[in-house]
Homo-oligomer: A and B are copies of this chain.
Amino acid sequence: MQDARDPRTESPPNRSKPRSRRLPREVRERQILDAAVQVFARHGYHEAAMDEISEVAEISKPMIYAYLGSKEELFVACIRREANRLIESISGAVDADLPPDEQLWRGLRAFFEYAQQNRASWTVLHRQASTQGPPFAAELSAWRRRALDLVTTLLSRADGTEEDRQVRHEQMQPFAAALVGAGESMVDWWIEHPEHTADALSMRLMNLVWMGFGDMVQGRRWKPD
């Protein structure tokens, strides 16, 4: 809980390599967000210090405030960006023309792969964002809704009337929530058992939610085509 940054032992006043200046705003913002996600993931919202973010981003604190506002706003910006990336990642992997089980399978795989390759991003979304109380509730709700929608869509057939689909969509929601939660939880477990591959994890979850234990205990398994 103690970080070893001691201002007294820091670099001498005349810094030899002056921080590069006059970068376009977009680049700066990305630098900042990258650093923020990293630091928020490492320490959690509260323990994360603006000082550390500014160091990691190699941008001075006043610039951070100028570009992205308060710490709270910065965190919201992180959540929003990372949520988009994840959603796009999964959306890009599925294909509306495939049968539901195939879609689900692809979605799951995309999810596990994303979590593996963007651990910090995922940590911020899953662990940090959900624990910081009211200030981020709105942002979180939005992200959850999108995630549920996506999963619900994956789970629903595309046929039937519009009304039919609407109803099914509603009914699917708790299942979708369960699926998302199961995925999150498996990723957590994965972190402590990294010897498994993303494929293996996806397969297990697929079996759980597609076949169910009832089938599994009798030896039936789901397999990709």
Q: Enumerate chain A interface residues (CB-CB to B < 8 A).
A: 1, 6-8, 13, 25, 42-47, 66-69, 100-101, 104, 127-128, 130-135, 155, 157, 173-175, 177-186, 188-190, 193, 196, 201, 204-205, 207-215, 217, 222
Contacts and interface: CB of A to CB of B under 8 A. Distances in A.
A101 B212 CA distance: 11
Contacts of A67: 7-8
A133 B214 contact: no
A173 B155 contact: no
Contacts of A69: 6, 8
A175 B133 contact: no
A44 B210 CA distance: 36
Contacts of A66: 7
A131 B131 contact: yes
The oligomer's copy count stands at 4
A40 to B, nearest CB: 10
Contacts of A189: 173-174, 177
Nearest to A190: B174
A208 B175 contact: yes
Given A44-B131, A178-B182, A182-B185, 11 more contacts: A1-B134, A8-B68, A131-B131, A174-B189, A174-B193, A177-B186, A179-B208, A180-B185, A210-B213, A212-B213, A214-B222
Main secondary structure of the interface of A (DSSP, over half): helix
A130 B127 contact: yes
Nearest to A41: B133
Nearest to A67: B8
Given A211-B212, A214-B210, A133 B204 contact: no
A62 to B, nearest CB: 11
Contact of A135 (B1, B25, B134, B183): B1
